[in-house]
Amino acid sequence: MNFDHFRHYARGWLFHFLGKQEIAYDAFVKAFQIKPDDLDALRHLASIAAHRERWEVAEDWFEKILARQPEDSATWFNLGFVRERGGKAGAALSAFQKAVELAPNQDRAWFGMGLAHARLGQHPEAAAAFEKSVSLQPMNGEGYYQLGMAYHCASQPDEVARIVKKLVSFEPKRAKKLVEDAGRSDLKPLIPELPF
């Protein structure tokens, strides 16, 4: 065991646990420099960078992880997430596609794929990805909302109505937001009176 590596890694873990992200990050960098094959340090570095919304830095760390573990679907999802948040919808889409290729039942990767397609203006493809996401996570109100908006942008009004009816059954407030954001006043009668 390399004591210097262990000391920096343990320090990073402790400060990460205590919420001292800057100190933790610096300690994990030192641990990684001493032992470049330390996947745990890489994961911490990527996580801290993403938490701090340093999207390009996090992207670089996630890519380093994938260079060592290319079959890790969770890391492909995380790479897609930071790329999407960093405004790289095309690159995010590629990462999400790899994530679902490796783990077809990863609902959050399908959701991310839907967001990336929507940002690229590919609304039918976004709807297909959101459909898969909500089929895997049927009580995901945000998933249904995004699905309804994808159908709205794809000019499929009957599908928007179907999604509003579904949302009313378990998240009427979000159904109301979908009706408003889609400009579908004709669907207002489907929304029950809400006390809030």
pLDDT digits (tens, 9 = 90+) for 168-192: 999 999 999 999 999 999 999 999 8
pLDDT at 196: 58
Q: What is the dihedral of CA 67, 71, 77, 78, to 10 degrees?
A: -40
pLDDT at 149: 98
Helices (H), the chain: 3-17, 21-34, 39-51, 55-68, 73-85, 89-102, 107-119, 123-136, 141-153, 157-168, 172-181
Count Cα neighbours of 103 within 13 Å in the Cβ-side half-sphere: 19
Contact 32, 42 (CB under 8 A): yes
- Region 67-80: mean pLDDT is 97
Average model confidence (pLDDT) across the chain = 95
> Among residues of the chain, what percentage have pLDDT more than 70?
98
Which domains, and CATH codes, for the chain? Answer: 1-61 (1.25.40), 139-196 (no CATH)
Give per-residue pLDDT as tens, 85-128.
999 999 999 999 999 999 999 999 999 999 999 999 999 999 99
pTM of the entire predicted model: 0.89
pLDDT at 48: 96
At residue 3 the predicted structure's pLDDT band, cuts being 50, 70 and 90, is confident
CA 171 to chain centre: 21
